[in-house]
Amino acid sequence: MLALARFTLKGPYQAAAIVGLLAILAVFIVPVVGLSPVSLFLTLATNLLAVVLVGLIILTQGLGPGLKVIASSAIAASLLAWMVLKSPEAGISMVVLQWLPVIFLAQTLRSTKSLAMTLLAGIALGVVVIVLQGLFWTELEASWFAQLVQRGEGPQLNQEQTQQLGQFVRLMMLLFPSSLYLMYMLVILVARWMQARLADSKGFGQEFCALTLGKPAALVAVLVVPLGLWLQQTWLLSLAFVIVIAFMFQGIAVVHSKLAPRKQSFLLLLLFYVLLVFAWQIAGILTSITGIVDNWLVFRKKPENPIN
């Protein structure tokens, strides 16, 4: 992956070619190969790699030169989707939902040189998504429900199954902004890691272990999360999920700073991430609580660049 990133940064033509090729593959794999676990995995992998490289280009080259390269790749992918699939929506939605937010966050990180500010800017993007989602909630919920029913096989759903499917769609709607936020921040972190590795720098590790969102943001979390769980308002619950993800990153930073000096740090961190993935209901919440409380108790020595 680093070799591909190094080749991408050799020049604007190489960057446009690699990002454009990955974007085209992400759009065409399923329509050409068919829907299967393998095709879905390849689509996800090529899509995420393209988005990571978009973030890396902005971090290393800046907004002006980076946008020229990215725009040419986006236009090529959208035009090819329009000519072959007779539908440019796939390419356009990829650019709007994935590339533009990552460009904004990468430029925020480049300008502020602060992971904390980038995470908070990501929360602002999450709020925008929640507002837009709220405006079209009924239509989106009905559309997702209809798509799931059409993809299902077998007899018609009974009343209980219909109710369960409706609850599942509602949960998907609630988690959609936080899922996007998680993806955006992971992409930015991987792009920043690549930037540091290509420069043979240890700066990313130091920045991440010092990540602190600050007391004002923590106070907002203390107010919004319990209020969302109590009132059960859809927009407030969606915002609470976004905030929980944000402070989960600070909690992960605390864990890294504590485990890194240990001799068996790799195994301990591996165990931590396994728990975070497979027992996320418990491990994720505890990690988020750790991130919130850290703003007052300061579990790490001399946190750098906190936002107070």
- Concatenating the DSSP letter of every residue in 261-291 gives TSTTHHHHHHHHHHHHHHTHHHHHHHHHHHH
Cβ distance 291 to 247 under 8 Å? yes
pLDDT tens column, 124-162: 999 999 998 888 877 887 887 777 777 654 456 677 777
Average confidence (pLDDT) over 253-270: 87
pLDDT of 304 > 80? The answer is: no
**Those residues with Cβ within 8 angstroms of residue 206's Cβ, 6 or more apart along the chain or in another chain:** 304
Give the pLDDT band of residue 247 (cuts 50, 70, 90).
Answer: very high
**Least confident among 70-84, 208-222, 236-250, 265-279:** 70-84
Least confident of 60-64, 145-149, 209-213, 217-221: 145-149
- Cβ neighbours of residue 3 closer than 8 Å, sequence gap 6 or more: none
User: Which residues have C-beta within 8 Å of that of residue 67, sequence separation ≥ 6?
Assistant: 103
What are the Cα distances from residue 182, in Å, to 44, 75, 83, 195, 306?
15, 26, 33, 20, 21
Q: What is the pLDDT of residue 183?
A: 94
Tell me the pTM.
Answer: 0.89
* 3-state SS assignment for residue 9: coil
Opening angle at CA 155, ends 153 and 158, nearest 5: 115
Chain mean pLDDT for the chain: 86
C-alpha span between 240 and 181 (Å, rounded): 12
